Amino acid sequence: MRTYYRGPDALITQDRLVWYDDITRTYLIRDLRTVGIVQDGSTGRRRAAAVAAIVLGPAAAVAWLQVSPVAGAVLGFLAFAAVIISVTAAPMRTVHVRQLQAHYRGVVTTVYESADERVFNQVTRALRRSLEDYPRTRHAPDLAAA
Angle between helices 69-88 and 45-66 (to 10 degrees): 160
* The pLDDT of residue 144: 41
Structurally, the chain folds into a number of domains equal to 2
Whether residue 114 is contained in a domain is answered as yes
145 neighbors 53 (Cβ within 8 angstroms): no
Whether residue 64 is contained in a domain is answered as yes
In a shared domain, residues 50 and 29: no
Whether residue 102 is contained in a domain is answered as yes
In a shared domain, residues 99 and 83: no
> Is the full-model pTM beyond 0.85?
no
* The pLDDT of residue 39: 81
Q: C-alpha 115: how far from its chain's center?
A: 10
Domain encompassing residue 76: 45-88
Whether residue 54 is contained in a domain is answered as yes
**Mean pLDDT per segment of 10 residues, for the chain of length 146 residues?**
92 94 92 87 61 76 83 82 71 74 91 92 94 66 39
102 neighbors 73 (Cβ within 8 angstroms): no
Domain containing residue 102: CATH number: 2.30.29.210
CA proximity to 89, closest of 134, 55, 42 = 42
In a shared domain, residues 31 and 99: yes
In a shared domain, residues 100 and 77: no
* The pLDDT of residue 53: 73
Whether residue 140 is contained in a domain is answered as no
In a shared domain, residues 127 and 112: yes
60 neighbors 52 (Cβ within 8 angstroms): no
In a shared domain, residues 50 and 24: no
The helix (H) or strand (E) run that includes residue 79 is: helix 69-88
99 neighbors 37 (Cβ within 8 angstroms): yes
In a shared domain, residues 67 and 81: yes
* The pLDDT of residue 139: 43
